[in-house]
Amino acid sequence: FSNLTSSFLTCSSENLCCVEPCFANKWPPISSLTFKTEKDQNPRIEWKKKGKGVTFVYFNHKFTGSYAGRAKIEGATLTIHSVTQKDSGEYRCEVTASEDHVTLGELSFLSASLVPPHVPACEVPSSVFVGSGLELLCKDKLSVPPATYRWYKDNKALTASADTPYHVDTNKGTLFKSVSKTDAGMYRCESSNSVGAPKSCVAQQLKVIEYPLNMTILIAGGAGFLVLILLCCVCVCVCRRRGCCKSE
């Protein structure tokens, strides 16, 4: 549909013309087709949507399914509000006049919904250790066309350069090769596309902590113990090969 929050398709019943499919791939152009009735002043108007099957949008003077409450019809003009990607598809307007002899017909619209940015899902860990790698992820699954992303630290945009310790991917997220104490702060992601205003997630705090002394000692002790076991195994193997371990 259009790049706004609503869109409309027009199909009226005034002038007779040949009925052939009409495809509208870009919005906001208004696609319309008119039909002329002979006697019937109240022709039946139906709107259908073709997806995996054909479903009614407007039938028997009322809207069906998810269109109830967010769509309206004036004459034969269909207006859908709060458009989402699920509204993409082929729409068909059918006009029939039971009191007339002339057969009217139908008009098809092929639409592609354009969806403005939504609040993205942001993944920011609460804390990381100094020197570890870190990836900040941002995802907006609803925007059409797909959103691009920008990360902010303390409300300042992250821009990668040769001197920065991170890599910025506008289609995914930000990757830190090695985190330092100065990387601590409030992080948020902003999604944007050509349709609507950018949307941002709530800023989340990232804490950068150093390895505690006891943790360092534990790691060093564990590594030393593994080295000692390895040396013992080597000594036993050498001893057996030389026959030093044979009993008399």
pLDDT in tens, 203-240: 999 999 987 655 666 677 778 888 888 888 877 777 77
pLDDT classification of 22: cutoffs 50, 70, 90: very low
Which pair of structure tokens corresponds to residue 108?
A: 């098809």
Task: Calculate the average pLDDT of the chain.
Answer: 75
pLDDT classification of 101: cutoffs 50, 70, 90: low
pLDDT in tens, 24-34: 333 343 444 45
Q: Looking at residues 107-134, what average pLDDT do you find? A: 82
Mean pLDDT highest for which of 45-49, 78-82, 88-92, 203-207? 203-207
Class of domain 121-209: mainly beta
Give yes or no for residue 246 having a pLDDT over 50.
yes
Q: Looking at residues 32-61, what average pLDDT do you find? A: 74
Domain residue spans of the chain: 6-111, 121-209
The more confidently predicted of residues 19 and 74 is: 74
pLDDT in tens, 138-191: 999 888 888 999 999 999 998 877 777 788 888 877 777 788 899 999 999 999
As to burial, measured by CB atoms within 10 angstroms (0-12 exposed, 13-18 middle, 19+ buried), residue 83 is: buried
Spatial separation of the C-alpha atoms in residues 40 and 87, rounded to whole Å:
32
Please tell me the predicted confidence (pLDDT) of residue 47.
87
Which pair of structure tokens corresponds to residue 188?
A: 């948020």
Query: What CATH number does the domain located at 6-111 have?
Result: 2.60.40.10
Task: Please tell me whether the overall predicted TM-score, pTM, comes out greater than 0.75 for this model.
Answer: no
Of the chain, the percentage scoring pLDDT greater than 90 comes to: 19
Closest CA to 105 of 183, 8, 34: 34
Could you report how far apart the first and last alpha carbons of the chain are, in Å? 93
As to burial, measured by CB atoms within 10 angstroms (0-12 exposed, 13-18 middle, 19+ buried), residue 118 is: middle
Closest CA to 1 of 106, 96, 101, 78: 78
The more confidently predicted of residues 129 and 77 is: 129
188 three-state secondary structure: strand
Q: Looking at residues 120-129, what average pLDDT do you find? A: 92
Say if 6-111 and 121-209 have the same CATH topology.
Answer: yes
Which pair of structure tokens corresponds to residue 87?
A: 């509204």
As to burial, measured by CB atoms within 10 angstroms (0-12 exposed, 13-18 middle, 19+ buried), residue 211 is: middle
pLDDT classification of 106: cutoffs 50, 70, 90: low
